[in-house]
Amino acid sequence: MHFCTAFFMSIKQIRNNLSEWHRTIDRKLPWKEDRNPYKIWVSEIILQQTRVAQGIPYYLAFLLKFPTLKHLAEANLEEVITQWEGLGYYSRARNLHKGANYIMETHNGVFPKEYEEILLIPGIGPYTAAAISSFAFDGMHAVVDGNVNRVLSRMFNIDEDLSKHIGKKKIKKLSQDLLEIAGNPASFNQAIMDFGATVCTPKPKCEICPMTKQCVAKKLERTLELPQKKTKPKLRKRWFHYLVYNQNGKSYIVKRVNKDIWKDLFEFPMQECSEIEWKKLEGVKLSQKLSHQHIHACFTEVKKMPIKYKTGQKVDWKNISSYSFPRLIRDYIGQR
């Protein structure tokens, strides 16, 4: 059989098996079956760096606070950051707010339908634009996330690093070919993503997979090798010393404004120090692991704040929980 014909037949069979499999499952998620582009956008941004189970309550709470794009645009950034508290990667919240204002100003509050126009919204890249385009407007754009990468790299035995250009290009071409044969972009994109999330997982459930006959990695016993693992960045360790002013029911807090973790969130006046210095400190010691950093913090209560730290704002302790804090500091406040 000619290679192109065989390739087409393989893709067609995968499409058919995937569609049949998807009809047998009922993966209920609050953003599925919703054609509202604003809600789809919010769900996709939350799920960029958040597990589905963790993301669901945040998604529901966010939409309760900002039920429409207009509500989000009219809110101040502080409100949005506060609502996002606990999800991390706060640039996502800033970009949602910025994007909502962009749509209000550029498109008179109407979410654009065309993929190219969606791509111009601040904080939206090719993946999110494809998701919104296909799920909300039936746009013929393949959605390629980590689940899709895993499924297709195994199905077609793709060895390339999928974080590099060649690997990305191969996966994009395959997923687009599958999508165009399927003819129903929203249904197909959801099916392949669900398949990667529930069957073709990092430890694949090959015993219940309906596509083992088409899976090249299975035939070659390479399912655990693919996709190629990216080298994890080295975890950076940091040591923070917080001075917690506590006098007459008052304290000092400072907003983080530099390009660093927790931008736009509040903290107590802080001095970053060395591990040796940190170990000698007295106070409450807590830690938090981020994706690329491990933060060790020591909170020392003081009755008098050094002059250089008085640039923050003085607040009442009884109102302090109304400000946006990183989880680490929120944990300290909750236990003191």
**pTM recorded for the entire structure:** 0.83
Task: With CA atoms as reference, report the closest residue to 304 among 231, 226, 237, 244.
Answer: 244
**pLDDT at res. 14:** 83
Q: Cis before residue 227, ω within 30 degrees of 0?
A: yes
Contacts of 259 (CB under 8 A, 6+ apart): none
Pairing of strands 236-245, 250-255: unpaired
pLDDT tens column, 244-297 = 999 899 999 999 988 899 999 999 999 999 999 999 999 999 999 988 899 999
183: its two tokens: 């003819």
Residue 231 pLDDT: 73
Q: How far apart are CA 334 and CA 336, in angstroms?
A: 6
Tokens of 90: 């706060």
Q: What are the residue ranges in the chain where pLDDT is below 70? A: 1-9, 310
160, 161, 155: which is closest to 206 by C-alpha?
155
Is the distance from CB of 205 to CB of 199 less than 8 angstroms? yes
Task: Give the pLDDT of residue 27.
Answer: 81
Buried b (16+ CB within 10 A) or exposed e, 263-276: ebbbbbbbeebeee
Active site positions, annotated: 44
